[in-house]
Amino acid sequence: MSSLLKAAILASALLSPLAVAAQTLVVDNVTIAATEDTVAPAIANVSTGSNATAELFTSEAGQLTTEVLTNLTDLQLSDIDLFTFNTGNETSVVTRSNCASGSCKVYPGDALYPSKFVWNVFSLLVGRGALIKTVPIAAPCYTNWGVQDADRCSVVLNNWTNDSYMHADDPTSVMWPLYEGLTCMPTDTPSANCSIGGYPSYAVAVTNVAQIQLAVNFARNANLRLVVKNTGHDFNGKSAGAGALSIWTHNLKQVKFYSKLTQDKYTGMAFKIGTGVQAYELYAAANANNVTVVGGEGRSVGVMGGYILGGGHSPLSSLYGTASDQVLAMEVVLPNGQFVTASNSSNPDLFWALRGGGGSTFGVVTSVTVKARPRMSVSVATFSISTGATVSADLFWQGISVYLKYLPVFTDAGTYSYFSIFNLGGGAYAFGMSPFFAPTLSNTQLKALLAPFLAEIAALNIPVTGLTYYAYDNFYDAWWAHFPLETIGSTNIKTASRLFPRANFQPATGNATLFNQTVGAIRSTVEQGATVLAFNIAANPSSGYPDSAVNPAWRKTVLHAIQAIAWAEGSSDEVAAAACLKLTNEWMGEWRATCPEAGAYMSEADILEPNFQQSFYGTSNYNRLYAFKQKVDPWGLFYAPTGVGSEDWYVTGQIDGLPTQNGRLCRL
């Protein structure tokens, strides 16, 4: 008997009540242990199957095929469907809904939650070492996980907020622990036990498509909560989920450059990139090939995962549009377990939805093929302005008003800039421009672009400090020098954001009252204590952009502004929740009032955003995405907070104003 057949027989008995309790199985009255000798990984080598021009990666050639499954189902055993594809209605999902309301995903401890034995068989089917039982990253700081280790604890503690690589390299860690539930924070003075909280129960460190298909099928058939984690950067806890099985895409690291690729109507340079690839890896690969790729500013962000699926903004967006505008094709495991190609000519509805419709909604993407651009020179400027001996708060805000008036001029020149406004207390304010990023412009051109703005600032007698210009002959060096690794892991900060339209910044040619109101709204919240981190950016390039699910608010914006509220570290949940609600309702209310029809960028937005469907997607796109979601995922297998269809679900045990992923996921 082949090991695959033995695996099939083992799997077939998994749903029967007796087998669920057993650690071994009886086949033809012979007891078989579930081990690597009896259960082989369920995978076949498939070299074809993509409808895209770029060939499949080796990781994508390893698939769970219908032939592998036919070998299982040919045995005519009734309960094989724990790991099989879905083709129609499933009874197992229904019978495994056992919450009081009959509508929740199964949860550890539930009678119908898969037994240790089932997890063991799943582990064998996905192959040695791939299934990881969660140990929270900070568990070494505590006594109750059996992994206490003062040295490791010290590394986790000291690197918690400055080392996003550490979180990305862990199967379940997330960078915004507030949404996990703060149940296992690193500490050298633990006063409670570490609990798993909103971290998933298990993660599969996937290295091939077959493992993703098995995990998707298993989660769907067993009615498990499913999470996809790439790096864990998500601002809103989208890569966490209590009791879940997580698909961890971090190791899908292949990168292939095509000096000439034809895909649909495009012929030119392209990259095919695994979804585990991070910005620093992609930019290095592009630089090595003497080209440029549109990606984000953050060094460690998973640029082909949640970033590009949510649209993705880039230092190159004012020139080329969103990152998702560059996509030529994607390879995807659908909620039904099938592996398909999404492109303009293959599954075009899926292709439309995946470009801006958000992560963890329509399937697991394994690779993305994007356009590559020629090498380009970049000029950069940095400077700051602040209140001081000769600069009153009113004068400072006049200076800010001058800067904001130039936002459309700057994006029209293809530039992008990242600036901050801090309330230093006692009526003191600081504006930092770091960096003003000008792709393709020479230093001479950049100086000419900034000259009228700087002249107006000088006319107001506002000193500009630290004005420095830099020149680079490629994107990579400019990006590396001016976008340092950002801090993460905070427990006492909440952010929200708005995509302010160009129309708000045209006092001379458009609505001066609206401009005045917009500057006033930003000033007002900063005066109340907000910190502003903002991007002067457009995503409406003169070369045009494809029709996709990207939030239409992106096409009108020149300012993606984030504001943050902070509360004292160690505050009660009630204090934190009150601060979060103040940000959402009061501070953001002032910003929204200046552009009620606009929206916000889903990947750097407020988890409590009112009417997120309109704000993050645009109403018409949302309706189309929601209908498509019902078609491709009628089970609601993929869930992410504020994702398409998420309004049909809730997480139990929540505090108003402070949502976490630490609770059961239930259908409303």
Ligand X SMILES: *[C@@H]1O[C@H](CO)[C@@H](O)[C@H](O)[C@H]1NC(C)=O
For ligand FAD, the binding residues (CB under 6 A) are 175, 228-235, 238-239, 249, 275, 296-298, 301-302, 305-307, 309-310, 312-313, 359-360, 364-365, 486, 488, 603-604, 640
Q: Which of 569, 381, 409 is nearest to 493 (CA)?
A: 569
For 471, phi and psi rounded to 5 degrees?
Answer: -130, 140
- In the complex with ligand X, the residue whose CB is nearer, 68 or 579, is 68
Cβ of residue 366: shortest distance to ligand X, in angstroms? 12
Q: Calculate the dihedral angle through the C-alpha atoms of 80, 81, 84, 86, rounding to the nearest 10 degrees.
A: 150
Q: C-beta of 68: minimal distance to ligand X in Å?
A: 4
Closer CB to ligand X, 7 or 539, in the complex: 7
Of 340, 467, 471, 575, the residue at the interface with ligand X (CB under 6 A) is 340
SS3 per-residue string spanning 54-71: CCCCHHHHEECCHHHHHH
- One of 346, 420, 491, 531 touching ligand X (CB under 6 A): 346
**Using CA atoms, how far apart are residues 1 and 475, in angstroms rounded to an integer?**
57
Residue 153 β-bridge partners: none
By C-beta, is 238 or 371 nearer to ligand FAD? 238
Exactly one of 4, 46, 285, 385 binds ligand X (CB under 6 A); that residue is 4
Residue 561 binding result from ligand X, ligand FAD, none, given CB thresholds of 5 to 8 Å by partner type: none
From 63, 120, 379, 401, residue interacting with ligand X (rule: CB under 6 A): 401
Backbone CA torsion sign across 303, 304, 309, 313: positive
- The residue among 8 and 308 lying less far from ligand FAD, judged by its C-beta, is 308
User: Considering the rule CB under 6 A, would residue 89 count as an interface residue with ligand X?
Assistant: yes
User: Is 10:121 a contact under the CB 8 Å cutoff?
Assistant: yes
DSSP 8-state assignment for residue 304: T
Work out what residue 198 binds among ligand FAD, ligand X, none; the CB cut-off runs from 5 to 8 Å by kind.
Answer: none
Under rule CB under 6 A, residue 265 binds ligand X: yes
Min dist. Cβ of residue 267 to ligand X (A): 11
Q: In this chain, which stretch among 339-347, 536-544, 597-605, 612-620 interacts with ligand X, using CB under 6 A?
A: 339-347
Please answer whether residues 450 and 561 qualify as being in contact, where contact means their C-beta atoms are separated by less than 8 angstroms.
Answer: no
What lies within 8 Å, CB to CB, of 596 at 6+ separation is none
Is residue 267 involved in binding ligand X (CB under 6 A)? no
Residue count of the chain, please give it: 668
Asked if 377 interacts with ligand X (CB under 6 A), we say no
Q: C-beta of 439: minimal distance to ligand FAD in Å?
A: 14
Q: Is 31 in the site for ligand X (CB under 6 A)?
A: no
Other CB atoms within a 10 A radius of the CB of residue 308 amount to 32
Nearer to ligand X, 68 or 478 (CB): 68
Among 31, 76, 88, 570, binds ligand X (CB under 6 A): 88
Q: How many residues bind ligand X (CB under 6 A)?
A: 45
For residues 296 and 307, is the Cβ–Cβ distance under 8 A?
Answer: yes
As measured in angstroms, the least distance from the Cβ of 637 to ligand X is 16
Q: Does residue 651 bind ligand X (CB under 6 A)?
A: no
Q: Which stretch binds ligand X (CB under 6 A): 453-461, 513-521, 531-539, 617-625?
A: 513-521
Least distance in angstroms from the C-beta of 642 to ligand X: 27
Q: Closest distance between ligand X and the C-beta of residue 493, in Å?
A: 18
φ/ψ of 530, rounded to 5, equals -70, 145
Least separation in angstroms between CB 368 and ligand FAD: 9
The piece of 178-186, 314-322, 342-350, 425-433 that touches ligand X (CB under 6 A) is 342-350
- 401 is in the binding site of which of ligand FAD, ligand X, none (Cβ under 5 to 8 A by kind)? ligand X
Give SS3 for 410.
helix
Is 268 near ligand X (CB under 6 A)?
Answer: no
Give, in degrees to the nearest 5, the angle at Cα 334 between 663 and 263. Answer: 135
Based on the number of CB atoms within 10 Å of its own CB, is 288 exposed (0-12), middle (13-18) or buried (19 or more)? exposed
Q: Which residues in 428-447 contact ligand X (CB under 6 A)?
A: none
Contact status: 658 vs ligand X (CB under 6 A): no
Q: Comparing C-alpha atoms, which of 97, 243, 236, 249 is closest to residue 174?
A: 236
Whole-Å CA distances, 197 to 105, 106, 152, 185, 480: 16, 16, 21, 11, 36
Q: Which is nearer to ligand FAD, 432 or 463 (CB)?
A: 432
Site for ligand X contains 516 (CB under 6 A): yes
Could you give the CA distance from residue 196 to residue 181 in angstroms, rounded to a whole number? 9
Q: Bridge-partner residues for 341, per DSSP?
A: 331
Looking up tokens 């089932």 gives: 118
Minimum CB distance to ligand X smaller for 111 or for 459: 459
Spatial CB neighbours of 597, under 8 Å, sequence gap ≥ 6: none
43 binds, among ligand FAD, ligand X, none (CB under 5 to 8 A by kind): ligand X
- Tell me the Cα Rg of the chain: 26
Closer by beta carbon to ligand X, 163 or else 281? 163
The binder of ligand X chosen from 39, 46, 56, 68 (CB under 6 A): 68
Binding of ligand X by 234 (CB under 6 A): no
Within 500-618, where are the H helices? 512-527, 553-556, 573-581, 588-593, 612
- Taking the complex as a whole, the smallest distance from the CB of residue 579 to ligand X amounts, in Å, to 26
Q: Which is nearer to ligand FAD, 209 or 228 (CB)?
A: 228
Q: What share of the chain is helix, strand, coil (3-state, %, to 5)?
A: 35, 20, 45
Binds 521: which of ligand FAD, ligand X, none (CB < 5-8 Å by kind): none
For residues 325 and 171, what is the distance between their CA atoms, to the nearest angstrom?
30
- Out of 73, 103, 115, 159, point to the residue binding ligand X (CB under 6 A): 159
DSSP label at residue 363: -
Q: How far apart are CA 319 and CA 313, in angstroms?
A: 11
Contact between 75 and ligand X by CB under 6 A: the answer reads: no
Task: Return the DSSP state at 344.
Answer: S
DSSP string of 16-69, one letter each residue = SHHHHH-SEEEETTEEEE-STTT-----EE------SSSPPPHHHHEE--HHHH
The smaller minimum CB distance to ligand FAD, of residues 15 and 539, is found at 539
| Cβ atoms 310, 616 nearer than 8 A | no
Binding-site partner at residue 325 among ligand X, ligand FAD, none, CB < 5 to 8 Å by type: none
DSSP 376: -
* Residue 369 CA, distance from chain mean position: 18
Q: Are the C-beta atoms of residues 562 and 421 closer than 8 Å to each other?
A: no
User: What mask, x for binding ligand X by CB under 6 A, covers residues 378 to 397?
Assistant: --------------------
Instruction: Using CB under 6 A, list all residues that contact ligand X.
Output: 2, 4, 28-29, 43-45, 49, 51, 65, 67-68, 71, 88-89, 144, 154-155, 158-159, 162-163, 166, 192-193, 264-265, 290, 340-341, 344, 346-347, 374-375, 401, 485, 511, 513-514, 516-517, 519-520, 523
